[in-house]
Amino acid sequence: MIATYKYPVHYLTINSETEVAYIDEGQGDQTLLFIHGLATYIPSWYPMVDHLQSKYRCVAIDLPGYGRSSKGDYPANMSYYAHVLGQLIDSLSLKNVVLVGHSMGAQVAVSTVLNLPNQFEKLILLAPAGFETFIDEHASLLKATAVTETFLKATEAQIRASWAMNFYQMPESVEFMIQDRINMKEASDFEAYCQSVARGVHGMLDQPIADRLGEIRQKTLVVYGEEDALIPNRYLNPGLTTKSVAESGTSQIPDAVLKFIPACGHFISFDKPAEINEIVDSFLTN
């Protein structure tokens, strides 16, 4: 099953075993490179690309193992994805790049700027993973539950419940993405996709960024939904709040601004598209 995208899809060969899909829309002095979160794909950025392409070049990638990119036995950790982004930037000769990452994609974005500290001037982190930390016991528990089999066996009801957790009030506009996820169960490469999701969880835990946030030299925008039900983990870190996690992480970044969106959950781009577009517009023009 190959998902239908609203924008033309381009492909870049990374190596003999890996091909990544991306969209490339709009023009401008700055290039926004969008990095999706765990278990999502390029369409998660539609509301932002629709709006921002009028002022900026907007490039969104399907990370290897996701969407229309190739599926395979990939490491699916932060350093691997950062390396892939570096190759995409070089191959497309992208200039004045601003990384825009959501959730896991934000942790990938931080890993990328730490690896290439002189290549970026600005960084945008939406509901970033990696600000929240876990004791070893809890990290091991998360790894034990994040296995390929778990995602392979997810029922439609479980898939819908998982998606609903991402929103303060789930809009009807996300139904097409839920259908794409349900239809993937019939795809020949579905197991490889599920493996990438499982390894992504492990990769976030094994390559943390919380203790390196002070090394970020880019002007950084951090945005969380006030009603984020996924960050922090309510079961493993019951004493934390989204506000406390957001403030703790952002305070370590030397040049960062933190914004909260009321009545908004984790999947910011679809939960409050007008609000996030206004915040990003303001950050990029100031």
Instruction: Report the chain (286 residues): mean pLDDT per 10 consecutive residues.
Output: 89 95 97 98 98 98 97 96 97 96 98 95 97 97 95 96 97 96 94 97 97 98 98 96 98 98 98 98 94
The residue type found at 232 is P
Tell me how far apart the alpha carbons of residues 24 and 29 are, in angstroms, rounded to a whole number: 14
| Per-residue model confidence (pLDDT) at position 3 | 82
Burial 185-222, CB ≥16 within 10 A → b, else e: beeeebebbbbbbbbbbbbbbebbbbeebeebbbbbbb
Contact 114, 130 (CB under 8 A): no
| Per-residue model confidence (pLDDT) at position 2 | 73
Tell me how far apart the alpha carbons of residues 69 and 12 are, in angstroms, rounded to a whole number: 9
Structure tokens at 277: 């577009």
Domains and CATH numbers, the chain: 10-285 (3.40.50.1820)
Mind giving me the DSSP string for 18-82?
A: EEEEEEEE---SSEEEEE--TT--GGGGHHHHHHHTTTSEEEEE--TTSTTS--SS---SHHHHH
